Amino acid sequence: MNDKRLFVILLVILALSIALLIYAKTQVGQNFIRQF
């Protein structure tokens, strides 16, 4: 595969991974006390 195309694909995957990490850090288990 062309290195440039691979670079773009990897960049997109990295962006999605960072989004997943931010979601995990801010959402998982964090909001459980709000309804009390």
Partner 1 sequence: MTEEKPHFKLKYINWLLVVLIILINGYVLVAPLLPQLDLKKRQHKVQAVAGLPYKSKTDQSKNNNRQDIPSDNRLVIPKIALDQHIYQGSAAWLLNKGVWARPNTSTPPEGGNTVLTGHRFTYGGPATFYSLDKLAAGDRVVIYWQGKEYDYKVAKTKIVSPSATEIEESTDNTQLTIFTCTPLWTAKNRLVVIAYPDKELN
Q: Considering CB under 8 A, how many residues would be counted as binding partner 1?
A: 22
User: Counting every residue, how long is the chain?
Assistant: 36
Max distance between CA atoms of the chain, in angstroms, equals 54
How many Å is the Cα radius of gyration of the chain?
Answer: 16
- What is the footprint of partner 1 within residues 1-36 (CB under 8 A)? 3-4, 6-7, 10-11, 13-14, 17-18, 20-21, 24-25, 28-33, 35-36
Q: Which residues bind partner 1 (CB under 8 A)?
A: 3-4, 6-7, 10-11, 13-14, 17-18, 20-21, 24-25, 28-33, 35-36
